[in-house]
Amino acid sequence: MSKILITGGAGYIGSHTIVDLIENNFTNLISVDNFSNSSKDTFDRIKEITGKDVKNYNVDLCNLEQTEKIFEENRDISGIIHFAAYKAVGESVEKPLKYYHNNIESLVNMLKLAKKYNVPNIIFSSSCSVYGNIDKLPVTEDTPLPKAESPYAYTKQIGERMLQDFLKISPNQKAIALRYFNPVGAHPTGKLGEMPIGVPNNLVPFITQTAIGIREKLTIFGNDYPTKDGTCIRDYIHVSDIAHAHVLALQKLMNDKNFPQYDVINLGTGNGVSVKKVVDAFEKVTGKKLNYEYGPRRPGDAVAIYANNQKAIKVLNWTPKYNLNDMMLSAWKWEKNLQQANVN
Ligand code: UDP
């Protein structure tokens, strides 16, 4: 059974991907996570769902020496799914060097070691933020990438470019970069989900924390955009659908000898949904009235962005299973679960 290394395995998408890998018979997994933005409990939660223990190395991937020890100990790694990265757009503007250092250095180290230890298959977490503020919707993968809007987005553009340059001199490696749109929701059991540290930046954790009483009210950033209800439009996609796409991408690299050495694939539902619609869906499926108000626009927000997801559907044979109501219900289940566990 091939061994898969997941970096950032305790993180939001990493942990859901571990569950999906296990459910798809990838049982030989190791994770590297230094819990800089995640919790050790995640592995207990994964065990609750799957019955399996996953070994985690508490190592900073920017530390090449310590990371190399993992590869020395595990000589049979056949795939790396590289999630580990900082991901807050706003923070990246405040602290650009923190982002450039962490997100780039860790990838450089991963690639060096992938080559030295002959790991053939690499999946890279990218983001729709590489497309910036784009007018032509839905967004296809061949959209030329503009100047990045934030240091975070730039680290993803650089990461993709690094992979391509690396592959040119590495005939034994293949990679897929997956460009996520807006991952939301939680494992359908409510036992695994997003665990923002401090005040959440993202919409859905802010909604669930408001509904449960941690935050007083949600501010919807802007209702004067040129959209039907005046609020911004995004492509929200269930985290478990994103997770499953990683498993399919890995299987693709492993099993399809004719697959190109490098590809990029959008992961979204293809539906543009407004912030107001998200709030309405949350209220409908939970029966809870959300305390919210309209406030000024958030600087840097694009009016609308959603995916053309045909490539993922065709190439990976992937279809998103969960709709907006499922996303809201699972996120709410998770929030209630966190409250019970007294994590907040
Ligand atoms: N948003 C909002 N209030 C919040 C957080 C987010 O109105 O407290 C809006 C934000 O302006 C954007 C959408 O929700 O239109 C999604 O924002 P998020 O930060 O979750 O993801 P982004 O698409 O910006 O990466």
pLDDT at 308: 98
**Cα–Cα dist 260/253, whole Å:** 9
Q: How far is the CA of 191 from the centre of ligand 1 (A)?
A: 24
pLDDT at 218: 98
Number of domains the chain contains: 2
The enclosing H or E element of 5 equals strand 3-7
Do residues 131 and 70 both lie within one domain?
A: yes
pLDDT at 300: 78
| Strand 233-234 versus strand 273-274 pairing type | antiparallel
150 and 99 Cβ atoms separated by less than 8 Å: no
Instruction: Give the tens place of pLDDT for each residue, 28-87.
Output: 999 999 999 999 999 999 999 999 999 999 999 999 999 999 999 999 999 999 999 999
303 three-state secondary structure = coil
pLDDT at 343: 55
Do residues 240 and 223 both lie within one domain?
A: no
Instruction: Give the tens place of pLDDT for each residue, 156-202.
Output: 999 999 999 999 999 999 999 999 999 999 999 999 999 988 899 89
pLDDT at 167: 98
- Ligand 1: nearest atom to the Cα of 128: 25
Do residues 145 and 209 both lie within one domain?
A: no
317 belongs to a structural domain: no
Do residues 241 and 216 both lie within one domain?
A: no
Which residue among 275, 279, 294 has the greatest number of ligand 1 atoms within 8 angstroms of its CB, and so is best to mutate?
275
User: DSSP alpha helices (H): ranges in the chain?
Assistant: 12-23, 41-50, 64-73, 89-94, 96-99, 105-116, 151-168, 203-212, 239-255, 275-286, 310-315, 324-340
Q: How far is the CA of 181 from the centre of ligand 1 (A)?
A: 12
Ligand 1, atom 10: closest residue by C-alpha: 221
Q: Could you identify the residue written with the tokens 């962005």?
A: 305
CA distances from 292 to 69, 144, 207, 339 (A): 49, 37, 9, 21
Ligand 1, atom 21: closest residue by C-alpha: 202
Q: How far is the CA of 302 from the centre of ligand 1 (A)?
A: 10
23 belongs to a structural domain: yes
Do residues 149 and 173 both lie within one domain?
A: yes
26 and 247 Cβ atoms separated by less than 8 Å: yes
Domain CATH for 300: 3.90.25.10
Which residue among 202, 291, 303 has the greatest number of ligand 1 atoms within 8 angstroms of its CB, and so is best to mutate?
202
The enclosing H or E element of 236 equals strand 236-238
Do residues 126 and 250 both lie within one domain?
A: yes
343 belongs to a structural domain: no
152 labelled catalytic: yes
Burial category of 120 from C-beta neighbours within 10 Å (exposed 0-12, middle 13-18, buried 19 and up): middle
211 belongs to a structural domain: yes
pLDDT at 332: 98
**Cα–Cα dist 265/263, whole Å:** 7
- Ligand 1: nearest atom to the Cα of 231: 15
pLDDT at 297: 94
Q: How far is the CA of 226 from the centre of ligand 1 (A)?
A: 16
Task: Domain of residue 61: give its range.
Answer: 3-185+236-269
CA distances from 340 to 191, 331, 336 (A): 11, 14, 6
Instruction: Give the tens place of pLDDT for each residue, 71-111.
Output: 999 999 999 999 999 999 889 999 999 999 999 999 999 99
302 belongs to a structural domain: yes
198 belongs to a structural domain: no
- Annotated active-site residue in 152, 154, 225, 262: 152
- Ligand 1: nearest atom to the Cα of 206: 8
Phi and psi at residue 177, to the nearest 5° = -100, 125
Confidence of residue 302 (pLDDT cuts 50, 70, 90): confident
Domain CATH for 244: 3.40.50.720
Confidence of residue 211 (pLDDT cuts 50, 70, 90): very high
Do residues 138 and 253 both lie within one domain?
A: yes
- Please, which residues have CB within 8 angstroms of residue 322's CB and are 6 or more apart in sequence? 185, 238, 240, 241, 330
Residue 261 pLDDT exceeds 80? yes
Residue 154 pLDDT exceeds 50? yes
Find the mean pLDDT for residues 252-269: 97
pLDDT at 344: 47
Do residues 218 and 126 both lie within one domain?
A: no
Q: How far is the CA of 321 from the centre of ligand 1 (A)?
A: 23
Residue 325 pLDDT exceeds 50? yes
Do residues 127 and 222 both lie within one domain?
A: no
Range name among 116-120, 129-133, 314-318 with the lowest pLDDT average: 129-133
Do residues 29 and 164 both lie within one domain?
A: yes
Q: How far is the CA of 118 from the centre of ligand 1 (A)?
A: 40
**Cα–Cα dist 275/342, whole Å:** 29
**Cα–Cα dist 339/302, whole Å:** 33
User: Residues near ligand 1 with C-beta < 6 Å?
Assistant: 182, 201-203, 206, 218-221, 232, 234, 275, 298, 301
Biggest CA–CA distance in the chain, Å, is 56
Mean model confidence pLDDT for the chain: 96
Which residue among 150, 234, 242, 292 has the greatest number of ligand 1 atoms within 8 angstroms of its CB, and so is best to mutate?
234
Do residues 98 and 117 both lie within one domain?
A: yes
Provide, rounded to the nearest whole percent, the portion of the chain with pLDDT above 70.
Answer: 99
70 belongs to a structural domain: yes
Nearest CA to 4 out of 122, 116, 176 is that of 122
Ligand 1, atom 11: closest residue by C-alpha: 221
Residue 342 pLDDT exceeds 80? no
Do residues 50 and 78 both lie within one domain?
A: yes
Q: What's at 170, amino acid-wise?
A: S
197 belongs to a structural domain: no
